[in-house]
Amino acid sequence: MGWNSWDCYGPTVTEAEVKANADYMAANLKKHGWEYVVTDIRWYVENDKAGGYNETDPRYVIDQYGRYQPAVNRFPSAANGNGFKGLADYVHSKGLKYGIHIMRGIPKKAVQEKMPIKGTNGITADMIYSTELQCKWLKDNYTIVADKPGAQEYYNSIIEMYASWGVDFIKIDDLSAPYHEGEINLIRKAIDNCGRKIVLSTSPGETPIAAAAHVSNNANMWRMVDDVWDTWPHITHLMEVSQKWYPYIAPGTWPDCDMIPLGRISVRGERGNDRMTRLTKDEQYTLMSFFTIFKSPLFFGGDLPSNDAFTLSLLTNDEVLTMHREGTDVKQLFQKDGKIAVTSKNAKDGSVYLALINVSDTASQEVAVPLADLGLTGKATITDMWNGSGVSKKGEIVSATLKPHASVLYKLSAK
């Protein structure tokens, strides 16, 4: 659970903005379990821009071993070769954890200048790269050929550097579609040998289900879809794709629904103008209900200091967050005719959780589930988890009549 700078600042976030979001998290969200603060893409470019990327004349910051460094004009504490250590120390001082985003591969600049790879005897960047499968949407890096001498050493060198900075989380982009098993193996080994516990998040795109066993054994979280923005079709596509991933929800390794595009986004974003989320309140409840019952990692994408009271309420409901943390045996009961039902259980107190969703665009619908399908018989107490109110059942059925895009999230306890 944490915050990521992408939805609101794209490739332009500054140290002051990261600190402001860390301050807000420490004051308002930490006690509810939120802890990671993540600086997203292209922190090593001095002159990037909103609304896309500066690929015309980017000014990269890179060290003698072909490793990107934070741009000091955006991250002043990185001066004198300090990297992100100063910013990580600041985040840690708040009782939080610090993360960064990187692109898969090795910088083109390192290849062009034949920079040496740290930890090798004379191997240079131009000896381990390939132009095949280069990222199509951002051309900063080349592919690393996994079996080349020096490939493992390059990943070791960057991960060791991040560990020395105090990084707790690394989101690595362009790994999933297509699936780069070779580079993931290099990364996993580098993290395991760096001497620091670091969460590995693979991104973005629809990770192929054929790679499920590999990714769940090598990453802590992996993206199921491309970027999720604040439009309803993004949410319904996510719920559709998620159907194949329920069997792989497990402690320490989770299918990832992507960032939460709520609150104030695109302050200087990659997509669209500065705005509060375009999702309606019903749609926001639906998103949060689905992300939490599905046990997705929760990374908020909006600018936290800009939150209004409603947005904050979505992030601080302790009943919902207990379900997210303690729910087990997550199952989709059905997804058909514009209706979705998802359930999980709390082994600690025996309660059952149930999300009912109407994904129809036009009609109100009753979404209903027999108590027997939830493993319950006879009497049950039903609570609406978002407002704490009691709910009546209809005989042996639990149901709700829902407007288009609306949902309910229930906790059921046997009497």
Q: Dump the DSSP string for 126-184.
A: GGSEESTT--SS--SEEEE-TTSTTHHHHHHHHHHHHHHHT--EEEEES-TTTT-HHHH
DSSP designation for 372: G
Cβ atoms of 282 and 249 within 8 Å: the answer is no
Domain at 332-414, CATH from 2.60.40.1180, 2.60.40.1760, 3.90.320.10, 1.10.3720.10: 2.60.40.1180
Q: What pLDDT is stored for residue 415 in this prediction?
A: 72
**Ordered DSSP codes for 312-353:** HHHH--HHHHHHHHHEEEEEEEEEETTEEEEEEEETTT--EE
> Percentage of the chain surpassing pLDDT 90?
95
Distance CA 337, CA 358 (A): 9
Mutual angle of helices 151-165 and 85-93, in 10-degree steps: 50
Helix, strand, or coil here: 295?
coil
Helix, strand, or coil here: 398?
strand
For 180, other C-beta atoms within 10 Å of its C-beta total 22
C-alpha distance from residue 257 to each of 241, 301, 383 (Å): 10, 12, 26
Mean predicted confidence (pLDDT) in 188-201? 98
**Residue 112, both tokens:** 């062009």
Q: What pLDDT is stored for residue 28 in this prediction?
A: 98
**Ordered DSSP codes for 200-221:** EEE-SS---GGGHHHHHHH-SE
pLDDT surpassing 80 at residue 346: yes
pLDDT band, very low/low/confident/very high, at 331 (cuts 50, 70, 90): very high
Higher pLDDT, 370 or 379: 370
* Helices vs strands, H then E, count in the chain: 11, 21
Distance CA 127, CA 295 (A): 42
pLDDT surpassing 90 at residue 377: no
pLDDT band, very low/low/confident/very high, at 62 (cuts 50, 70, 90): very high
Write the pLDDT tens digit of every residue in 260-272.
999 999 999 888 9
> For residue 287, which phi and psi values (nearest 5 degrees)?
-60, -50
Q: What pLDDT is stored for residue 343 in this prediction?
A: 98
Write the pLDDT tens digit of every residue in 274-308.
999 999 999 999 999 999 999 999 999 999 999 99
Write the pLDDT tens digit of every residue in 150-186.
999 999 999 999 999 999 999 999 999 899 999 999 9
For 38, other C-beta atoms within 10 Å of its C-beta total 27
Mean predicted confidence (pLDDT) in 324-342? 98
Domain at 2-316, CATH from 1.10.579.10, 3.20.20.70, 3.10.20.30, 1.25.40.10: 3.20.20.70
DSSP designation for 50: S
Q: What pLDDT is stored for residue 93 in this prediction?
A: 98
Q: What pLDDT is stored for residue 234 in this prediction?
A: 98
Region of residue 335 (left: phi > 0; alpha: psi -120 to 50; beta: else): beta
pLDDT surpassing 90 at residue 316: yes
Cβ atoms of 54 and 44 within 8 Å: the answer is no
For the chain, domain boundaries: 2-316, 332-414
Distance CA 344, CA 327 (A): 6
Mean of all residue pLDDT scores within the chain: 97
Distance CA 256, CA 402 (A): 27
Distance CA 67, CA 397 (A): 59
Q: What pLDDT is stored for residue 175 in this prediction?
A: 95
pLDDT surpassing 90 at residue 414: no
User: pTM (2 decimals)?
Assistant: 0.97
Cis ω for the linkage preceding 178 (within 30 of 0) = yes
